[in-house]
Amino acid sequence: MKITLSVIKADIGGFVGHSSVYKDVVNKVQEVAEDGKDKGIIRDLSVLICGDDIALVMTHTKGVDSSEVHELAWNAFKEGTEVAAKLKMYGAGQDLLADAFSGNVRGMGPGVAEMEFVERKSEPVVVFFADKTSPSAWNLPLYEIFADPMNTAGLVIDPSMHDGFIFEVMDVYSGMYISLRTPEELYDLLVFIGATSRYVVRAVYRKSDGEIAASASTQKLSLMAGRYVGKDDPVLIIRSQAGFPAIGEILEPFARPWLVEGWMRGSHTGPLMPVSFKDAKPTRFDGPPRVIAAGYQITDGYLIGPSDLFDDPAFEIARKDCGLLANFLRRQGIFEPHRLPPEEMEYTTLPKVLEKLKDRFKLVDEKKAFIK
């Protein structure tokens, strides 16, 4: 049976500030999406929260980019926004950039990760959900999970993974993408995905049979809105086991934190902290950026789960390291490299400040300045 797994997420208002979401808002979003389940638009639903973002994890048989499923998510976020606005939650409707739905939520603000596959004998999947960061946060772990045998032993040991994987990499500024095969084009892949400000991995396929292995949201809110409205706060789906990386191989990159863009005002570099559902509330300097991992078994198109996969003391060291990295970076204050470089700051609120000061610059008289 062909099943589609669609994860659609949005920030429709924060409680308090940008740190979390209020229960009444979540309840309304869930109620509308459940109604879609009763009407047969989707087969099953699970609602996830990370920081000030809500994700609808939905299964159905309508394929990717189904306007019916996208409209359901849009309506759920719209009605949730009405509750958020009434309660004066912070930034109510923040990510809903359009007034009316027009066939597909892509380009309208919400982030989307979707994949369609024939359900296997047993279908374990992981949905990652991050707050206070951008889609390029997935570049490093996706490389490790699908292309680094030092992380994923299965690339060496499991014959069905031994041929490697194909990465689809998107240039977020041009909207073009390139397919690169690993291991043979590994260094070419890293040329692009190491440049996290421009390139993001949008999907990964198993080379031996072309099966979809991973799908990520690539939406950059600031590029859609033409101004800074909040961080993208991406989602990522990965299929696991029996010819795909094991759950432990998928989670392993998160045991050693790395730096991502986002954090306070979407303007800083910070460590991505793997947390349990209950700790997905970024409050220190609006961060540090958080990521949760929700595990599901998909059974006859129904979602059994979520299992809170970072709720494991084995990730305590990573969390502690994130705290230490956060201290170290915070010492740097408003100075780079804690603050993002100027090219990245163009997509924050800083240009408005620069605009006010631009006429104050005077040409340096080289003789006076440099000859005593």
Instruction: Decide which of Mg ion, ligand F6R, none touches 17; Cβ closer than 5 to 8 Å per partner kind.
Output: ligand F6R
Which of 143, 199, 228, 296 is labelled catalytic?
Answer: 228
Q: Is 228 a catalytic residue?
A: yes
199 is catalytic: no
Partner from Mg ion, ligand F6R, none contacting 53, C-beta within 5 to 8 A by type? Mg ion
- 189 φ/ψ angles, rounded to the nearest 5 degrees: -55, -45
Tokens of 102: 């027009």
**Contact (CB, 8 A) for 141 and 167:** no
Give the Cα-Cα-Cα angle 161, 138, 151 (nearest 5 degrees): 40
CA distances to 189, 297, 354 from 155, rounded to whole Å, are 17, 23, 49
Q: Which residue is catalytic, options 9, 78, 132, 231? A: 231
233: contact with Mg ion by CB under 5 A: yes
Count CB atoms within 10 A of the CB of residue 46: 19
Among the listed ranges 9-17, 158-166, 169-177, 322-330, the one in contact with Mg ion (CB under 5 A) is 9-17
Interface with Mg ion, residue 123, by CB under 5 A: no
Angle 180-215-12 from CA coordinates, rounded to 5°: 135
DSSP per-residue letters across 58-82: EEESS-TT-HHHHHHHHHHHHHHHH
- Min dist CB 175 to ligand F6R, Å, is 23
265 near ligand F6R, rule: CB under 6 A? yes
Pick between residue 51 and residue 301 the one whose CB is nearest to ligand F6R.
Answer: 51
Judge whether 177 counts as a catalytic residue: no
DSSP, residue by residue, 252-295: GGGGS--EEEESGGG-EEEE-EE--GGG----BTTBS-EEEEEE
- In the complex with ligand F6R, which residue's Cβ is closer, 53 or 249? 53
Count of positions on this chain that bind Mg ion (CB under 5 A): 9
281 binds ligand F6R (CB under 6 A): no
Residues forming the active site: 11, 228, 231
The residues binding ligand F6R (CB under 6 A) are: 17-18, 91, 132, 230-231, 264-266, 286
